Amino acid sequence: MKVLVPIKRVIDYNVKVRVKADNSGVDLANVKMAMNPFCEIAVEEAVRLKEKGVVTEIVAVSIGPKTAQEQLRTAMALGADRSILVETDEDVQPLGIAKALKAIVDEEKPDLVILGKQAIDGDNNQTGQMLAALTGMPQGTFASEVDVADGKVKVTREIDGGLQTVELNLPAVVTTDLRLNEPRYASLPNIMKAKKKPLDTKTAADLGVDLTPRVTTVSVEAPAERQAGIIVGSVDELVEKLKNEAKVI
Partner 1 sequence: MSVLVYAEHDNAALNKVTLSVVAAAKEIGGDITVLVAGKGCGAVAEEAAKIDGVSKVLCADNDAYEHQLAENVGDLVAEVGADYSHILAAATTTGKNFAPRAAALLDVAQISEISDVIDADTFKRPIYAGNAIATVKSSDAKKVITVRGTSFDGVAAEGGSAAVENIDVAKDAGISSFVGEELAKSDRPELTSAEIVISGGRGMGNGDNFEILYKLADKLGAGVGASRAAVDAGFVPNDMQVGQTGKIVAPNLYVAVGISGAIQHLAGMKDSKVIVAINKDEEAPIFQVADYGLVADLFEAVPELDSKL
Contacts of partner 1 in 39-68 (CB under 8 A): none
Contact criterion met (CB below 8 Å) for 90 and 211: yes
The CA–CA distances, whole Å, from 106 to 126, 134, 157 equal 20, 11, 27
Which of 67, 165, 187, 203 is the binder for partner 1 (CB under 8 A)? Answer: 165
Q: Which stretch binds partner 1 (CB under 8 A): 44-52, 64-72, 74-82, 115-123?
A: 115-123
Which of 168, 180, 194, 209 is the binder for partner 1 (CB under 8 A)? Answer: 168
Q: Does 125 bind partner 1 (CB under 8 A)?
A: yes
Contact criterion met (CB below 8 Å) for 125 and 118: yes
Triad 144, 82, 54: Cα angle to 5°: 45
The CA–CA distances, whole Å, from 13 to 102, 215, 232 equal 28, 25, 32
> For residues 192 and 222, which CB has a smaller minimum distance to partner 1 in the complex?
222
Q: Does 22 bind partner 1 (CB under 8 A)?
A: no
Which of 21, 53, 235, 244 is the binder for partner 1 (CB under 8 A)? Answer: 235
Which of 151, 162, 189, 208 is the binder for partner 1 (CB under 8 A)? Answer: 162
Q: Does 204 bind partner 1 (CB under 8 A)?
A: no
Sort strands 139-149 and 112-116 into parallel, antiparallel or unpaired.
Answer: unpaired
CB of 43 to partner 1, least distance (A): 18
Distance CA 99, CA 210 (A): 8
Burial degree of 154 (CB within 10 A; 0-12, 13-18, 19+): middle
Q: Does 30 bind partner 1 (CB under 8 A)?
A: no
DSSP 68: G
Which of 57, 129, 190, 197 is the binder for partner 1 (CB under 8 A)? Answer: 129
Closest to 110 in 3D by CA, of 67, 153, 74: 153
> For residues 188 and 228, which CB has a smaller minimum distance to partner 1 in the complex?
228
Q: Does 238 bind partner 1 (CB under 8 A)?
A: yes
Residues of this chain, 69-88, that bind partner 1 according to CB under 8 A: none
Closest to 45 in 3D by CA, of 216, 174, 212: 174
Q: Number of residues interacting with partner 1: please give it, by CB under 8 A.
A: 77
DSSP 208: T
Q: Does 132 bind partner 1 (CB under 8 A)?
A: yes
Q: Does 94 bind partner 1 (CB under 8 A)?
A: yes
